[in-house]
Chains A and B, each alone.
Chain A
């Protein structure tokens, strides 16, 4: 039997992960309600319409990061169960294809999550969005979710099956994604024109998000195989 190329491995893993989500609906039934709840809790804690409008961008991305931890745990819980990851490891396929497949599946789930969070912010926190702001926002979401997808898959793979992974993943992941939080928040604030920010100010931050995604896309594809190897 010939060895499948990276593209086929990538699409097989991507479709498998999305199919699992489609059938189990963990994102839909558990993560999205959790994220919405976090947004409501923020409003309870801050208790001021002006403040909420001002910090809406930051709250969206904080909620994204916390929810992403759950999605990443879930993404690798299905691999750790029944030693699925071991099967992939011994299948003789290039693990970079597996890495990109899982990372892009994670990115797609994060895009859905962010769409819901941004709509929630617009409704609950009363932020407005202009046409040019929308273009900036969509680019920002694509850049940051891709970066989070790459980093999340890398560290999720490392902690998969490890004892205490629930606590280890946030400790490893959150410091690494700090640049995403900073850049995505500033870009979103520019898109929402929070605190008088101009839309044009946001594009430099999208550049940083692109650099982050590129660095961890390359670094992750090299490191993922050795990291999950036994």
Chain B
């Protein structure tokens, strides 16, 4: 591990550079295609272009939290308790929270333009907001003091409890709404009729955001590894210093 740290001062490798370059190329197309080449929507006009950011970021946010849960379960189940799983879970949750914030902001802006409101108490929106807050809590748990092992165990359990919680929240919000004002169908992408170029740009957005996500997660988990190494070295150095003091006295 220490060899890995000394051999490179950066967190990039050839693979991540290729990944990053691909992400830039695809995102360039999404920006140009989304803003210039694709037509405006008959009903929504120019505001439909928010879709090229909103839908892919929502997809990435949910993907991130699924990956966090899978990595957390792998850490708990695995006999070796490989810290790689823990770092991947943490990195994925951090990046996921960022994309979830983008989803909520773009979603409410789009909502203001199409429904006239920033927020609707739609089950999907409400569940997304709860997921966002839940993972902010997850990240707070990761920052609790303690050893790397403790952090891994606590956060893995919290991530799996979130898997229990989210369906319950979603289900209760669904029946809450259905009983009180009738299910409101607010499917932003559902009432948009997409032509081929729009569909292609949307698909490119999903691919581009996925590439960006993995690029960010790979770098983030490497900085987490470096942080763990620094912490451990700090402890080793402190012990060595005390020992040296003891031998000189």
CB of A208 closer than 8 Å to a CB of B: yes
Contact of A183 among B160, B161, B172 (CB under 8 A): B172
Measured CB to CB, the nearest residue on chain A to B136 is A171
Measured CB to CB, the nearest residue on chain B to A179 is B172
Contact of B157 among A163, A175, A227, A230 (CB under 8 A): A227
Contact of B161 among A174, A178, A186, A223 (CB under 8 A): A223
Q: What range describes how many residues of B lie at the interface?
A: 20 to 34
Give the chain A neighbours of B171 by CB distance below 8 A: 179, 208
Task: Tell me how far the C-beta of A140 lies from the nearest C-beta in chain B, rounded to whole angstroms.
Answer: 14
CB of B130 closer than 8 Å to a CB of A: yes
Task: Tell me how far the C-beta of B152 lies from the nearest C-beta in chain A, rounded to whole angstroms.
Answer: 11
Give the chain A neighbours of B160 by CB distance below 8 A: 223
CB of A15 closer than 8 Å to a CB of B: no
CB of A226 closer than 8 Å to a CB of B: yes
CB of B146 closer than 8 Å to a CB of A: yes
CB of B1 closer than 8 Å to a CB of A: no
* B:127-159 near A, CB below 8 Å: 130, 133-134, 136-137, 140-141, 144-146, 150, 153-154, 157-158
Interchain CB contact under 8 A, B168 and A168 = no
**Per-residue interface assignment for chain A, residues 186 to 224, with 1 indicating a CB less than 8 Å from any chain B CB and 0 otherwise:** 100000000000000100100010011001100100010
CB of A162 closer than 8 Å to a CB of B: yes
Give the chain B neighbours of A216 by CB distance below 8 A: 164
Give the chain A neighbours of B165 by CB distance below 8 A: 175-176
Further 11 A-B residue pairs, CB within 8 A, beyond A179-B172, A208-B171, A215-B168: A158-B154, A168-B141, A171-B133, A172-B137, A172-B141, A175-B137, A176-B165, A182-B176, A186-B176, A204-B175, A226-B153
Q: Which residues of B contact A (CB under 8 A)?
A: 130, 133-134, 136-137, 140-141, 144-146, 150, 153-154, 157-158, 160-161, 164-165, 168-169, 171-173, 175-176, 179
